[in-house]
Structure 1
């Protein structure tokens, strides 16, 4: 049996371009790995690929990214082995935290080892890009600047350990719907991620907290006008900066330490909200 962690992510910045001819959007994003993670266990089998989990929100059939990643790996390599995969789900589903992408990345890593395939990280990154825009970063980890549709990655200085508070309301948001709404809105103002990059280079927490930016906020906030209140609530509870995670609906807040993040989380306990305190993670 082989166990692999699948780490959540947040976008410290996310700039979105217009839709391309292939249906994707050009992105520029400073991405950050979190300590919050799922756990996947892999057991080799003769030929069948199966997925089980106790989380009823997660489908276990061929439309799950874990199964898609396993099948892609087999097609690419000609491997005939199978695997019994068990998912322990901690990252909330459809929350903008890259949980499905993280699980797919962990599957590529886990089965590459379990099946003895010996694929390089560059090859895994190529395969990951076929599965989803966030999968390459979930393989890459740490702190990175992502471009293209997420597959072009440059490593950035690791963020100094920061506390992160995650607040998710009792509903989910479809990434595809968020992008469709984004396409219907006027073009956003151009954002320069260099302020965030400079803050990371200098280890300046205040600069990082104040440089948070997400072009998709307007789209998801338009669909769910209650979300700005959650963001204001996080700031009011003591977060140094707050932002919607990915396409939402989770809102995250930054704190200078894990201890302060836990104190902020305690102030936000409320029926209908799920609240986590976690930290940034290094590569």
Structure 2
């Protein structure tokens, strides 16, 4: 029986402005989104019924899993001629601010669209994906860009850094709803994230970019702020928390400086990842006979 394989990549937020808290409880934001090489691997086969196994057995595989939610959504609105088993080798930490769950959901929709020969466009898949997670449209498009509104509206932009990215997870999750609840929206930032990312050099980003969610996370988890400081001490041009945390990344101009930071975090026992300059994710879905 044929197997289909594909990779599900993580992301980082290049700055994040929380502009407004809406009556619905959601927030209007602006953020830059780019890819990192941290990835999960999907192995998919035809099956008599839907099955999901994860290499990390602590992650639920029931209806709370975004892969299962995406599968159910596709089956409900498009229909399935066959059923499939998903085996996922999980590497992206959960609850880390790296979009791992949303990336998994987006890839599930893309795989089903291909294997079922449904012929849906990216925009049609995005319509389904909006209900699954704010970052799902970004992962379906598969290109870096500026996210606005509730995070669903993605404007493609050439903002993938031409520099090394070191990403470090401090071994604990950050609660997205709690972090947003404790942040202070600001509709009048001095600089727009889009303007900074498209018009300024990377060595200026540290002074012009902000993540408005850092303050509530740093107040609760002092370690996250310390890691940001450590990234800068290691020689990062930019250091920032990604999304609602708890992961911190540093952007480095020189490879040996980035590699030293990456290896140092590993020696301290923290999961870390190193991404090459101008990284482009492989969004292919490949048949393996």
Distance (Å, rounded) in 2 between the aligned partners of 1:245 and 1:8: 11
Shift of 1:92: 1.2
Name the counterpart of 2:222: 225
Matched position secondary structure for 2:246:
coil
Distance (Å, rounded) in 1 between the aligned partners of 2:111 and 2:199: 32
* 1:72 and 2:73 correspond: yes
Name the counterpart of 1:111: 112
Structure 2 unaligned regions, length at least 5 = 282-289
1:124-182 superposed Cα distances (whole Å, 9 cap, x missing partner) = 11111110101111112232011111111111124343211112212111212212222
Q: TM-score, normalised by structure 2?
A: 0.88
Name the counterpart of 1:162: 163
Structure 1 unaligned regions, length at least 5 = none
1:58-77 superposed Cα distances (whole Å, 9 cap, x missing partner) = 21111100010011001011
Counterparts in 2 of 1:56 and 1:210: CA distance versus 1, 3 Å: farther
Shift of 1:80: 4.3
Name the counterpart of 1:128: 129
After the TM superposition, which residues 233-252 of structure 1 pair with which residues of structure 2 at under 5 Å, given as runs? 233-252=230-249
Range moving further from structure 2, 218-227 or 241-250: 218-227
For the 8 Å contact 1:9–1:31, the answer to whether it is kept is: yes
After the TM superposition, which residues 175-190 of structure 1 pair with which residues of structure 2 at under 5 Å, given as runs? 175-182=176-183, 186-188=184-186, 190=188
Name the counterpart of 1:40: 42
Distance (Å, rounded) in 2 between the aligned partners of 1:250 and 1:50: 30
For the 8 Å contact 1:3–1:110, the answer to whether it is kept is: no
Distance (Å, rounded) in 2 between the aligned partners of 1:282 and 1:158: 11
Counterparts in 2 of 1:78 and 1:274: CA distance versus 1, 3 Å: closer
Distance (Å, rounded) in 2 between the aligned partners of 1:192 and 1:57: 43
Counterparts in 2 of 1:71 and 1:193: CA distance versus 1, 3 Å: farther
For the 8 Å contact 2:17–2:212, the answer to whether it is kept is: yes
Name the counterpart of 1:49: 50
Distance (Å, rounded) in 1 between the aligned partners of 2:237 and 2:173: 25
Aligned residues: 278
Name the counterpart of 2:280: 282
For the 8 Å contact 1:235–1:242, the answer to whether it is kept is: yes
Name the counterpart of 1:205: 202
For the 8 Å contact 2:35–2:160, the answer to whether it is kept is: no
Matched position secondary structure for 2:182:
helix
When the two chains are superposed, the root-mean-square deviation of aligned CA atoms in Å is 2.1
Shift of 1:201: 5.3
Distance (Å, rounded) in 2 between the aligned partners of 1:168 and 1:162: 20
Distance (Å, rounded) in 2 between the aligned partners of 1:110 and 1:270: 37
1:171-202 superposed Cα distances (whole Å, 9 cap, x missing partner) = 111212212222xxx44473355465454357
Shift of 1:257: 4.6
Q: TM-score, normalised by structure 1?
A: 0.90
